[in-house]
Structure 1
Amino acid sequence: MDDYPLLNLFWTMLELFVFILWFFLLFKIITDIFRSDDMGGWGKAGWTIFVILLPLIGVLVYLIARGSSMAQRDVDQMRKTDEAFQAYVRQAAAEGGGGTGGSHADQLAKLAELKNTGAISDDEFQKAKAKLLA
């Protein structure tokens, strides 16, 4: 380790950091290319080939040409994810939480409807009601 001065160690660490940062940026841009709805298949293929074959120039040109709309696509993706999550929460709450098939009031209403239509007897209705309320 005597042949490797401290300044060279810092320089190597900086190069490693920039290399890792470069990969993060490259993956972010490739993700943005495929997520973009305003580009067709040929446009996506062209940008992907350009970014992979000429990485430094391709990434810089992509950031100059389409960088301003990358943030908007990120916001749109987060909004879609949040809306999907909110819809799932509303659906789970409407179903009564644990997949029980609805709230007790809904189940009682279904039992009353079955009794009124004659599908179950009054005795069966009372037993099912007692079991549900227990």
Structure 2
Amino acid sequence: VVCIWIFIWILIDIFRDHTLNGWAKTGWVIVLVILPLLGALIYLITRGGSMAARQTERVKESQQASAEYIRAVAGSASPAEEIARAQELLAAGAITQTEFDAIKAKALA
């Protein structure tokens, strides 16, 4: 079971790696299909360290995207900040007094 899992993980890594061109990916897949155990060992020896680095980078990107989404959905932290931002827009002439009143009422609701 562990050997099959390692083989699958290597295949996933090959296709997720953007530094390999199509021919290199094809070559690694052929080696893994013809000589699975030897091919897996060679892949882990030659590219094992970069596998961990790529996985760490994917996890960081995923966490960053998640944090950005949460910030976007959560909006501002307090009604006072929303009202202050609306006041700045009103002073700049970007919104009308009616729009400001609507934003203020929504923030206080």
TM-score calculated relative to the size of structure 2:
0.70
Q: Which amino acid in structure 2 is aligned with residue 77 of structure 1?
A: R
**Aligned: 1:49 with 2:30:** yes
> Partner residue of 1:62?
43
Determine if contact 1:29/1:59 at 8 Å carries over to the other structure.
Answer: yes
Instruction: Provide the aligned length of Structure 1 versus Structure 2.
Output: 106
> Partner residue of 1:73?
54
Question: Unaligned regions of 5+ residues in structure 2, if any?
Answer: none
Q: Which amino acid in structure 2 is aligned with residue 48 of structure 1?
A: V
Give the superposition deviation at 1:131. 6.9
Determine if contact 1:108/1:129 at 8 Å carries over to the other structure.
Answer: no
> Partner residue of 2:12?
31
Give the superposition deviation at 1:125. 7.8
2:65 to 70, 79, 84: 84
Determine if contact 1:50/1:58 at 8 Å carries over to the other structure.
Answer: yes
1:38-87 deviation line (CA, Å, top 9, x unaligned):
21111112112221232112111111221121111111111111111121
- Going from structure 1 to structure 2, the CA distance change for 1:41 and 1:130 (only over 3 Å counts) comes to closer
Give the superposition deviation at 1:110. 5.0
What is the correspondence of 1:9-24 to structure 2 with a 5 Å cutoff?
Answer: 20-24=1-5
Distance in 2 of aligned mates of 1:36 and 1:78? 14
The RMSD of aligned alpha carbons is 3.2
